[in-house]
Amino acid sequence: MTVRPYEKWIQTLLFMFAAVAVLTVLAITLFIFKEGLPVIFEKGILGFVGSSRWAPLSGSFGILGMIIGSVQVTMGAIALGVPVGLACAIYLAEIADGKTSGIIHPGIELLAGIPSVVYGFFGLSVVVPFLRNHLPGNGFSILAGSIILAIMILPTVVNISESSIRSVNADYSSGSLALGASHWQTIVKVILPAARSGIVASVILGMGRAIGETMAVIMVTGNVTSIAGSVFDPVRTLTGNIAIEMGYAAGEHREALFATGVILFLFIMFLNLATTCFFRKAGDIK
Report the C-alpha gap between 30 and 28 in whole angstroms. Answer: 6
What's the pLDDT at 11? 84
pLDDT tens-digit map of 180-214: 888 888 998 999 998 888 888 888 888 888 888 88
Residue 281: band (very low, low, confident or very high) from pLDDT cuts 50, 70, 90: low
Q: What is the pLDDT of residue 286?
A: 41
Residue 285 has a pLDDT of 43
Give residue 1's pLDDT: 53
pLDDT at 140: 93
Q: Average pLDDT, stretch 77-105?
A: 90
Q: How many CB atoms lie within 10 A of CB 35?
A: 17
Average pLDDT in the 224-235 region? 89
Please give the residue that has the higher pLDDT: either 161 or 52: 161
- pLDDT of residue 283 exceeding 70: no
DSSP letters spanning the chain: -PPPHHHHHHHHHHHHHHHHHHHHHHHHHHHHHHHHHHHHHHH-HHHHHS---EEGGGTEE--HHHHHHHHHHHHHHHHHHHHHHHHHHHIIIII--HHHHHHHHHHHHHHHHS-HHHHHHHIIIIIHHHHHHHSSS-S-SHHHHHHHHHHHHHHHHHHHHHHHHHTS-HHHHHHHHHTT--HHHHIIIIIHHHTHHHHHHHHHHHHHHHHT--HHHHHHSB---SPPSSTTS-B--HHHHHHHHTTT--THHHHHHHHHHHHHHHHHHHHHHHHHHHHHHHTS--
Each residue of 251-267: pLDDT tens digit?
Answer: 888 889 999 999 888 88
Mean pLDDT of the chain: 87
Summarised one tens digit per residue, pLDDT across range 21-54 is: 889 989 988 998 888 888 888 888 888 888 888 8
Percentage of residues in the chain having pLDDT higher than 90: 35
- The answer on pLDDT for 3 being more than 60 is no
Region of poorest pLDDT, from 59-73, 203-217, 231-245, 267-281: 267-281
* Residues 268-282, mean pLDDT to the nearest whole number: 72
Residue type, 172: Y
Please write the tens of the pLDDT for every residue from 121-152: 999 999 999 999 999 989 899 999 999 999 99
For residues 9-30, give the mean pLDDT. Answer: 88
> How large is the average pLDDT for residues 46-65?
85
* Distance of alpha carbon 91 from alpha carbon 105, whole angstroms: 11
pLDDT at 213: 87
What pLDDT score was predicted for residue 84? 94
